Structure 1
């Protein structure tokens, strides 16, 4: 396994730690951040989410720069993104921060695209992430990080940046999903 794939694997391994931090009921105190309080444990989990998210850029950069792009990486990288995003969004719904209907649409798109990739893989085709898909991922990660940090630093001015970014992410999620299926419709049409 090459270095970029190991970095991707580390992102997958950080997910359970992130989930545990967000799920345990431990009071490490909290900080007053304008209109909200930010529990320290959410701050730590939010930082872990940001670190895990940054590995997405690092592994991709490293793989392209040193010509280490592999089919395993093309498969694992979007899978790691989906697992991280799904875990965070479900936790945000549980916290009452993200609307469930938005999360359902986002996760439905992820399942649909994963299904398309599975069909393509059965035909010997590996579908890499598109530019729209990468923009979708970026907006999702920004929105989630901000919501995990209780809208810090925008909570000081009462601006719901995290929620606005979540709706922008929803837009790009739908747009990239439609684009993905339109561009790869032949995979489904020609599937045996």
Structure 2
């Protein structure tokens, strides 16, 4: 396994630690940022999520720079993104920080796209993420971080940044999903 793929696997391995700090009520206390209380557990969860999200850029950088692009990496990298985002959204719904309908829209698109990728893989094709898909992932990550931080520091300004980013992420998720199906309809048709 090359370096880029190891970084991708590390991203997947960070998910349980992230969920542990997000969902377990650890007696670590809390602090206040911009006159808004936030638990240290949530700050640790956010830090883990940020590190895990950063590995998405890092594995891609090394894969391109060191010519380590593999079919396994093309399949595993988007899957790792989906696992991380799905875990975060479900945890945030549980914590009542993200509306369930947004999580359902995003997760449904991710399942549908993963299904197409599996059909393509069975046919010997590997479908890499598109630029719009990468923008979708970026907005999802920003929305999740803002939600994890309870919209701090924007809450001090009464600006709903987290909510706006969740809407943008949902819209880009739908748009990129439509684009994905249109571009890859041949995979679906070939498998019927």
Shared fold, TM over 0.5: yes
Q: Tell me if the contact between 1:34 and 1:157 (Cα under 8 Å) persists in the aligned partners.
A: no
Deviations 1:28-65 (CA, angstroms, capped at 9, x unpaired): 12122346311111001101100000000000011011
Q: Which range moved further: 147-156 or 15-24? A: 147-156
TM-score, normalising length: structure 1 = 0.97
| Aligned-partner SS, 1:190 | helix
Gaps of 5+ in 2: none
> Cα distance, 1:120 vs. partner?
0.5
In the other structure, the counterpart of 1:8 is 8
Following the alignment from structure 2 to structure 1, what is the Cα–Cα distance between the partners of residues 2 and 170?
Answer: 33
What is the count of residue pairs matched by the alignment? 192
Which residue is equivalent to 1:58? 58
Give the stretch that moved more between structures: 173-182 or 28-37.
28-37
Work out whether residues 139 and 168 of structure 2, in 8 Å CA contact, stay in contact via their aligned partners in 1: yes
Q: Which segment is superposed worse, 172-181 or 151-160?
A: 151-160
Q: Secondary structure at the match of 1:68?
A: coil
Which 10-residue stretch deviates more, 150-159 or 102-111?
A: 150-159
Counterparts of 2:36 and 2:107 in 1: how far apart (Å)?
A: 28
Alignment-derived partner of residue 163 in structure 2: 163
Q: Distance in 2 between matches of 1:54 and 1:85?
A: 13
In structure 1, what is the Cα distance between the partners aligned to 2:108 and 2:133?
14
Match for residue 154 of structure 1?
154
Q: Let me know the Cα RMSD of the aligned residues.
A: 1.0
In the TM superposition, residue 150 of structure 1 has moved relative to its aligned partner by 1.2
Q: Quick check: 1:42 aligned with 2:42?
A: yes
Distance 2:130 2:160 in 1: 29
CA contact (8 A) 1:35 1:158 kept: no
